[in-house]
A and B are shown apart, each in its own frame.
Chain A
Amino acid sequence: MKPRKIKEDVYWVGAIDWDRRLFDELIPLPDGTSYNAYLVKGDEKTALIDTVDPTMADVLIDNLKQLGVKNIDYVVANHAEQDHSGALPQVLRQYPDAKVVVTAKCKNLLMNMLLIHQNRIMTVEDGESLSLGGKTLEFIHAPWVHWPETMFAYLREDGILFTCDLFGSHFATSDLYVTDEAAVYEAAKRYYAEIMMPFRKVIERNLEKIKDLQINMVAPSHGPLYDKPEFILEAYRDWIYAPPKNIVVLPYVSMHGSTKKMVEYFVGALVERGLTVKQFNLAKTDIGKLAIALVDAATIVVGSPTVLAGPHPNVVYAVYLANALRPKLKFASIIGSYGWGGRMVEQITGMLSNLKVELLEPVVIKGFPKEESFRALDRLADQILNKHKEQKLIK
């Protein structure tokens, strides 16, 4: 790719990683990703906003060369994580006069994680600004989106808010701006679910902090830019503030078919009662799809067989993630089966401590489901329906 002009003297100089399929050795990237870096040239000073993943440092350096950048005064590091700050060492070698502009917490992280010398780093307070001559960067401390050191940079004259990971999407595209809203919505929601959802309450505060800014454009560090900022702001408001929806998420594993039979019957019973169900076979699913479903769901019902006296390890993995992601869930239950005994229910409920959910009576049966098992599932479906009605999730 080549540098892309955004506004007069403002350029995208990042890298598109079309082929990456896994992040943090954990998160699937079905659409690849990008690492967005931006160059802002003032009359007197030049600033680079964020860098790129260290594997693509040469792409960034080449973009800067193509633009004829001889000197960089400031490198704003909104976030210390390696996919944005990992190319700092190369950039600082290439541009020996450049200072890294960060929050105090970010300074500490960059010195420890990327071994950047403290003499190359200057810290800025919340609300502080930096004049480049005709272009002014204002810094807004925005902690915990999604690390403690994060901040935004706001280019006042052009009304561009550089939000780093907040509002981002893992979405490789040659389009500078969002063109396919449906595709970007799914990618941005996946990103929110996996990265931002645990910090929902803190994001509320950060949204409050930026609400009076004149934002003409949101420029995140992953995925296309938002030249219509309301698209992503509205989506975030829905994901964060709106009550959960009339949805039951049903992640499950079945080893020999008993739990599967229960899941099939139970999904039918829920649908018959007017609930939306999202079913995921944990042996096969993209875990990101499960995370997306958790953004809006009111209820989670976990389906598990019993293996070595506890839940199936894939169920443990999914429940651990659901608990760590801290979605808006209100209710939880467990269905499944065992051969001769075990502590599957206790182990699963013990892993849900972060979720402020009401636990509904589990249906865990011995062996293959029988008539009374199906009646118990009917009763659980009735109970979920009533709870959703009480919460006014059903009109």
Chain B
Amino acid sequence: MTKWRCTVCGYIYNPDEGDPESGVKPGTPFEELTDDWICPICGATKDQFERVE
């Protein structure tokens, strides 16, 4: 599954790991994160992420 990078702090969202601390289970694709999901490192909103090719 595609990884996504935070353009503010560089955090990589890896769908295989999810974001368990924010209640996102491993295996959740980026597209399925709710719109109010926030970068766990810097607080950037979802629209500030870019696809890692």
- Which residues of A are in contact with B by a Cβ distance under 8 Å? 104-105, 108, 143-144, 146, 148, 198-199, 201-202, 205, 326, 353-354
**Chain A residues with CB under 8 A of B43:** 143-144, 146, 148, 198-199, 202
Write out, one digit per residue, whether chain B residues 11-53 have a CB within 8 A of any chain A CB (1) or not (0). 0000000000100000000000000101010110100000000
**Chain A residues with CB under 8 A of B8:** 326, 354
Given contacts A148-B43, A201-B45, contact A143 B38 (CB under 8 A): yes
Closest 10 CB pairs of A and B: A144-B43, A201-B45, A199-B43, A354-B8, A144-B38, A202-B43, A205-B36, A202-B38, A143-B38, A148-B40
Looking at the assembled complex, report how far the CB atom of B23 sits from the nearest CB atom of chain A, in whole angstroms: 9
For residue B2, CB closer than 8 A to chain A, the reply is: no
Does B7 lie within 8 Å of A353, measured CB to CB?
Answer: yes
Looking at the assembled complex, report how far the CB atom of A325 sits from the nearest CB atom of chain B, in whole angstroms: 12
**Chain B residues with CB under 8 A of A104:** 21
A199 vs B21: C-alpha distance when bound (angstroms)? 19
A104 to chain B: closest residue by CB: B21
A-B contact pairs, 8 of them (CB 8 A): A104-B21, A105-B21, A143-B38, A144-B38, A146-B43, A199-B43, A205-B36, A326-B8
A146 vs B42: C-alpha distance when bound (angstroms)? 10
A160 vs B12: C-alpha distance when bound (angstroms)? 39
Looking at the assembled complex, report how far the CB atom of B25 sits from the nearest CB atom of chain A, in whole angstroms: 15
A108 vs B7: C-alpha distance when bound (angstroms)? 26
Looking at the assembled complex, report how far the CB atom of A44 sits from the nearest CB atom of chain B, in whole angstroms: 32
Residue among A146, A148, A202, A353 making CB contact with B45, cutoff 8 Å = A202
A316 vs B43: C-alpha distance when bound (angstroms)? 23
Looking at the assembled complex, report how far the CB atom of B7 sits from the nearest CB atom of chain A, in whole angstroms: 7
**Chain A residues with CB under 8 A of B36:** 205
A198 vs B9: C-alpha distance when bound (angstroms)? 12
Looking at the assembled complex, report how far the CB atom of B53 sits from the nearest CB atom of chain A, in whole angstroms: 18
Looking at the assembled complex, report how far the CB atom of B10 sits from the nearest CB atom of chain A, in whole angstroms: 10
Looking at the assembled complex, report how far the CB atom of B33 sits from the nearest CB atom of chain A, in whole angstroms: 14
A353 vs B50: C-alpha distance when bound (angstroms)? 14
A202 vs B45: C-alpha distance when bound (angstroms)? 7
B9 to chain A: closest residue by CB: A354
Looking at the assembled complex, report how far the CB atom of A26 sits from the nearest CB atom of chain B, in whole angstroms: 17
**Chain A residues with CB under 8 A of B42:** 198
Looking at the assembled complex, report how far the CB atom of A150 sits from the nearest CB atom of chain B, in whole angstroms: 10
Looking at the assembled complex, report how far the CB atom of A240 sits from the nearest CB atom of chain B, in whole angstroms: 13
B41 to chain A: closest residue by CB: A148
Looking at the assembled complex, report how far the CB atom of B49 sits from the nearest CB atom of chain A, in whole angstroms: 13
Looking at the assembled complex, report how far the CB atom of A110 sits from the nearest CB atom of chain B, in whole angstroms: 15
A205 vs B8: C-alpha distance when bound (angstroms)? 19
B8 to chain A: closest residue by CB: A354
Looking at the assembled complex, report how far the CB atom of B45 sits from the nearest CB atom of chain A, in whole angstroms: 5
**Chain B residues with CB under 8 A of A148:** 38, 40, 43
